[in-house]
Structure formats: structure tokens, C-alpha cells
Structure 1
Amino acid sequence: MRILISGASIAGPVLAYWLARHNFSVTVVERAAAPRKTGGHAVDLFRPAMDISEKMGVLARIEARTTGTSRLALVPEGGRPVRVDLSTIFGAASDRHAEIMRDDLSEIYYEAARDDVEYLFGDSITAISPDGDVRFERAAPRRFDVIVGADGLHSTVRRLVFGDETRFSTSTGAYLAVLTLPDMTGVDGELRIHVGVGRTAGMYRAQHLGDARALFLFRSEHPLDYHHHDVPRQKELLRAAFTGVNPEVQHWLDALDGTGPFYFDSITQLRMDTWSRGRVTLVGDAGYCPGPAVGGSTSLAVVGAYVLAGELARAGGDPERAFPAYERAMAEHVRGSHAVGLSAAKTLIPASRLGVRGLAQGTRLLSALPPGLGRVFLRLTTKSARFHNSMTVDDYPSPPRQRSTA
């Protein structure tokens, strides 16, 4: 049985790995010319995704590439920094967690299955027929039994099969930008965040990287006018949103004049009645994005990929049986991720001075509490981490890996 996956970031390679383990013939098509190195931001993996990664045999590599960020310094506008141990925060909400750069995680998942999967880099799908005939920009047409869109928030597969993105996207009113900065000495292990009304900016450096990342979150009363490929316009909007900010954040913004990797997009949720049509389905952000940077989308994508592969194997490759089972298994996880994504966006980007003070005071209280009381306090307040740590999935046994004797 031949399965085509569009997208080689997170969900695509994880899905490819498990489909190959279930003895399906897998092809992955990716628009980028090689495995992506886009200077992306750090992402979180919680217990279910960590468990799946362990089954894939890549957990040790993930743990070796964690960012090493251990301290948070929160600076409210006009106030003094408040510092807290990040291990206290994540340890209270999740007993198994890793923060890793998105590029590193994508590379690890890609390498886990690259010898068992066909990759078509530098290409993209242009048409999909109900019978499974697929046309590409470069490769010759082929027929597949199942086609999966794992190609992110602006999914080509979703557009071709389900229609324009605007039919399914719900904006939170917030925007996200990630900027790669030159080497920032003296910041190892610390996430430094400046919080003001309607805008938040943070900077950190992964322990194994020679550069740093600045992350910007902000709200706009009206939808911003830009195209997701128009980088100069995106940089202009980011500068405008942080006009008058403190000198440290302005120093980070000065790197916009360079040519380093840059990401900008709205924090948008995808809400669809179904992620499947005929022999086509969607996984990860392409089908149910809970909001970049706020909704635990990486862990959700890993879980979704594992479940989809497992349900296809359980159904003997029959999409009419597998896709509804996949959607039933993921429905509660997706609803919960959407809810905590909206809540996290409100917390991370306060809408008032009262919200800024509340965030600072909560952090200050946490820094002053004994470790035991701090963990109790966090168990009551870290809704997003607790939710993604508690997701459960079926176990989908796969046949023993067949090793080549050639």
C-alpha cells in the first residue's frame, strides 16, 4: 500500500516512521530543498510525545539536544526583574518534559526513518484526484492509496482538498515572530522575558548553539495586512508593534536589519468539522493547529501522527475505517489544546496593566515559596502543561523491524 505525506517538519517524519514500521510504502514530499534549518524557536515535548519518541529509539538524542534553559527572568514594563527556577515550573506540571529547538527535533525525527522512506525534496503537490492521482511541481504524476497533509498551518493539501484556509482559521488576535540573534554571551541557561500591555518579548540561547533566539508576541486590535511570504512587510509590522520598548528589546530588534532566519505569523487556530475526505486526511497543524507557541502544537502533532499510523495499521490500510477512528481518538486532545491555547495566549500577552502586574506577582510569589509549596501552586496554575502531559493514546504494536540482509 502506497502512502504519500506532504511535509517533513515534525508530524510528517513521525508519521513516516510509524507507517514504515507497520510495513506501508511511504513517500514524503517536502517543498524545501533539504531538511529544514529555518532558525525556529524552542518547542516543548510532554509525556505522551516523550513516550512515543522513546518507542522510536530517539529519546536519548532528544535529551542530548535540549536547550538547557533553567532560569526565567521576567521583567514587567517599568519594573524590576523577577527570577525563578524553570525546573520548578515544568517539574510541577510534567514528570517527563523536554524543551528542544524545532530544527533539532525535526532533524532527529527525519533521521529515524530516512532509510525506510522515500523523500522528495524541493517539490510540492499541485493536484490531487479523488482516485489518488497526485501531480507534483517537478516529479512525474503518481497514484497513492492514502495522501496525508502534514504541511503545517498553511497546508497545500488542505487547500487543494478542503478549500481556502480562511474557511477554517480562527485568529486569536495575536501574532508571533522569531528572530535569530548573533551570539549572546552571558545568557546561557536563562530565558529573559519583557512583558507589557499587549506585547511580550523574550530571548534565550540553547546550550549547543552559537546564536540566540528572540521571540515576540503581540496583539493587534485589527487584523494585520500582510502575506506570509512578505518578509519586509512582516519586519515593518514587528517594529511598529514594539515602538518605544525598552533598550534591551530594541537591541534585539536591531537584528532585523540582518539576513538571519526570521519567522512571522498570526497565532491562528484551525477548526474543521472533519480532517478527512476520501483517501486524504490531515495531521498536526494542517488539520487542527491550536496556535503556534501557545497550544502545545508540537506534542499534539507527534501524538496525532502516532495515532494516525496506528489506526491505518489496525484497519489494514482502509481509510474508510482508519480515518474516523483517528478522528475519534484525537477529538478530545484537539478540543483541549484549542482551549488551553486561547488561555495561554491571554496569559502570555496581558491585555491590561493589571494583567502585567498579576503575571509579575505570580512569578514573584513562586520565586519566594519553598519548593514544595511552589509545586503545589503550579499544579493549580499550569493548565497547558498539565493538559498535554495527561493526554493518553492507545498502544499500537508494530511488527519487529525487518533488517536488510543485503
Structure 2
Amino acid sequence: MRVLISGGGIAGPALAFWLHRAGADVTIVERAPAPRPGGHAVDVRGVARGVVERMGLREAIRARQVDERGFALVDARGRKLATMPADLFGGEGIVAEIEIARGDLAAILREATARDVDWRFGDRITALTLDGDVTFASGGRERFDIVVGADGVRSGTRKLAFGPHEEFVRPLGGWGSYFSVPDPGDLGGWFEMFNAPGGRVAGIRPERGGTAKASLSFRTDEAFVRMAKDDQMRVLEQRFAGVGWRVPGMLSGMSDADDFYFDEISQVHVEKWSRGRVVLLGDAGYCGSPLAGLGSSMSLVGAYVLAGELAAASSPEDGFAAYQNEMAAYVADGTRLPPGGIGGFAPNGRLMIRMRATSMRMMGRWPMKGILAKQFAKSDAITLKDYAFAAA
């Protein structure tokens, strides 16, 4: 079986790992000219921890994971209004037991597949048919038994095989940014977050290597597409002008960050994840947004299940159908937003901001603890099969 995977982030290399073990000939095409370091923190939750254990990568992840004590909501003077320690919900809370920079997790997966997979950086799919004929930007044309779109929310593969982004990407009414800044030195291992009126949210969390990750998000129905990086930064400077706390320092350090990212907060919903010999994996097919918080875990679990069902099926189409059947309930839970959605994350008025702090102080008590426990338990909402290759 000859498989082409578009996307060299997390979902694509994880799938390549399992497909190679199942005996497939795997190629990964990644449009970036080289691996992307850094990135925002991602977590490995619930059954996804079992997947990385089966891959033999748990120790490699442990060596690079970020040491965070938990989440803290703070006021303009930096005083903690509410805290959620990392172990409050068994390591499945806002800050999970396993937190790691996206680039570090991607590097671990790339290292695990480097010798067995044909990696092609600086290229992308420009045309494909539903039976596996692919044309690349570099000019080459090849035929594959299966083509996998694992290339994110704005998947080029999905656009070519399924239709325009607007049919599948649902904006949630906000935009978010993250970028690295020098570690302020006083975080004490806490991921701090501050709410300002007008639906504005600022956050900062520790990283490895003397840096911290700053995040700035705000509610809006405006669109900021096809905007140059400098213009995106100006939007943030205007939106967060006059906001106190650590925000002035974040804004002053923003222009020096080499990992600046700015995008719409949105979800991806695709009714059927396959068409012909083309199938979607991870954010390309199902994304709950950063508010839902299960993106990397769904990618890791989805890769394991897709590979397993393809290895067991008599045809790719049968494998795709079994993959969606196995994953459907887990994805439905994983893409469900927490109570309040973006309004709960980024309240507009001071009263709602105070109410958010009050509700968060109740997180460890009944009945809030029970409600949140159900929300965080969605990371375990699937029972993994013991596919034959998993024991290889």
C-alpha cells in the first residue's frame, strides 16, 4: 500500500509511524521548507497517553515536556483570583499532566519516522483525483493508493478533494495570537491568564529554554484574512492598547518573536471524512478549536485508529468507514466547547469577568467539580482496539 500524507505536524507523522509498522510505503509532503520549531503548548490527554506509550515515545516526550504547576486566573495586579493545579482532575484539567511545545512533539514524531518514511519538505499537493493521482507544486506527478489530508484547519488537501474552506470551517467569533517572549522569571510554573473588558484575554505560560509563550485573544466578528504580519501586529496593538497587567511587555516583545502566529478561533466539521481514496485526519477533518483543547490528542488517537482500520480492512474505503465509525463519538465529545463557549472564555463586561473568576474558584467544589469532571473526561471517551501492528 502506497500512502501520501500531506502535513508534517503531529497527525501526519503519527499516522506514518503506524502505517510503516503495518507494512505501508509512506511519503509525507510538508509545504514548509524545514521543520518548524517552537509553537504553542499542546497536551497529550486521556487515551492519547496510551497511544504514545504504545509508540515507545513516552520517555522522549517526558524529556521535553514543559513543567507547569497549573492554571491561574489573575487580576490586573497579578494577584491569583482562582487556580487549577495540574493534578486537580487527574492531570486532565486546563493544564494537563503532559504539556509540550508543538514543535517539540512534532520533532519527536519526525525522529521516530525519519529512517522509514520519505519526507519531502518545501512541496505541496496542487491537484489530485479521488483515485489517488497527485500533482505536486514541484512539478512531479505520482499515483498513490491513499492520500491523507493531515494539513490543519485550512487543509489544502480538503479544499482540493472536498470543497472550499467555508463549507467546513466555522468561526467562533474571535481571533487569537501567540508568540514567544523572554521568561519574566516570576511565573513559578503557572500558566497565568487575565481577562480585560471588551472580550480581551491575555495569557502567559512557561516554556523550556528561558522563554515564555504569550497569547492575546479577543472577540470580534471582523475578518483579518490575507493580512501582512506587521498589520496583524498593529491590530493587536490597537485592540490591547491600555490593557494593564503584563500586556505592555508582551506587545513590546511581539515584534522580536520569530514564531508569531495570528489566526481566527474556529472549528472544523466535516460530515464524512473520506472521498474516494482521500481521507482526512486531525484538524483537517475535525477540530474543536483551542477552547475545546483536544486537538493533539485527537490527532494521535485518530492516527492510531486510521492505521489500524486500514491494516485490517479489505479495501481503503472499508478502512475509512471503520475509522469514522470508531472515532465518531470520541470526536463529537472532543469538539464540544466547554460551558459558555467563547463568551465564557472572553467575557465582555466587568460583571461577567468577576463571575468567571467566581465560577473558577468553585472548580474544585461540588457541583462545579462534577460538571467539569465530565468535560475533562471526554479525553477518555474511546476504547482503543489492540491492532495487530501495535504489538510489533
| Separation (CA, whole Å) in 1 of partners of 2:183 and 2:45 | 29
**Structure 1 residue 75 and structure 2 residue 74: aligned?**
yes
SS for the counterpart of 1:27 is strand
**Structure 1 residue 55 and structure 2 residue 36: aligned?**
no
Residue 391 of structure 1: aligned partner: 382
1:354–1:315 distance in 2 versus 1, CA, 3 Å: same
SS for the counterpart of 1:201 is strand
SS for the counterpart of 1:179 is strand
1:54–1:273 distance in 2 versus 1, CA, 3 Å: same
1:183–1:79 distance in 2 versus 1, CA, 3 Å: closer
1:88–1:397 distance in 2 versus 1, CA, 3 Å: same
Q: What root-mean-square deviation, in Å, do the aligned CA atoms of Structure 1 and Structure 2 show?
A: 2.4
Whether the 8 Å CA contact 2:291–2:341 is kept in 1: the answer is: no
TM-score, L = length of structure 1: 0.89
| Separation (CA, whole Å) in 1 of partners of 2:391 and 2:296 | 27
1:189–1:77 distance in 2 versus 1, CA, 3 Å: closer
1:187–1:93 distance in 2 versus 1, CA, 3 Å: closer
1:235–1:383 distance in 2 versus 1, CA, 3 Å: farther
Residue 370 of structure 1: aligned partner: none
In the alignment, structure 1 segments of 5+ residues that lack a partner are 367-372, 402-406
Q: How many residues in Structure 1 have an aligned counterpart in Structure 2? A: 390
Give deviations 1:281-303, integer Å, cap 9, x for gaps: 10000111111353411111111
Whether the 8 Å CA contact 1:226–1:233 is kept in 2: the answer is: no
Question: Which of the numbers 290, 313, 318 marks the counterpart of 1:292?
Answer: 290
Residue 204 of structure 1: aligned partner: 205
SS for the counterpart of 2:302 is helix
SS for the counterpart of 2:177 is strand
1:91–1:266 distance in 2 versus 1, CA, 3 Å: same
Residue 275 of structure 1: aligned partner: 273
1:376–1:13 distance in 2 versus 1, CA, 3 Å: farther
Residue 189 of structure 2: aligned partner: 189
1:66–1:384 distance in 2 versus 1, CA, 3 Å: farther
Q: Does 346-355 or 268-277 show the bigger shift?
A: 346-355
SS for the counterpart of 2:389 is coil
- 1:101 to partner: Cα distance: 1.1
1:111–1:342 distance in 2 versus 1, CA, 3 Å: farther
Give deviations 1:164-191, integer Å, cap 9, x for gaps: 1011111110222101112432324121
Q: Does 107-116 or 352-361 show the bigger shift?
A: 352-361
Residue 160 of structure 2: aligned partner: 160
In the alignment, structure 2 segments of 5+ residues that lack a partner are none
Counterpart of 2:380, as a letter, is N
Residue 404 of structure 1: aligned partner: none
TM-score, L = length of structure 2: 0.92
Whether the 8 Å CA contact 2:169–2:268 is kept in 1: the answer is: yes
1:238–1:89 distance in 2 versus 1, CA, 3 Å: farther
Taking only the aligned residue pairs, the percentage that are identical comes to 39
Whether the 8 Å CA contact 2:66–2:99 is kept in 1: the answer is: yes
1:204–1:150 distance in 2 versus 1, CA, 3 Å: same
Give deviations 1:93-127, integer Å, cap 9, x for gaps: 47x84111111111111111221111111111111
Residue 344 of structure 2: aligned partner: 347
| Separation (CA, whole Å) in 2 of partners of 1:40 and 1:347 | 25
- 1:383 to partner: Cα distance: 4.5
- 1:67 to partner: Cα distance: 1.1
Give deviations 1:170-225, integer Å, cap 9, x for gaps: 1110222101112432324121211123121111112x3221110122211x2223
SS for the counterpart of 1:20 is helix
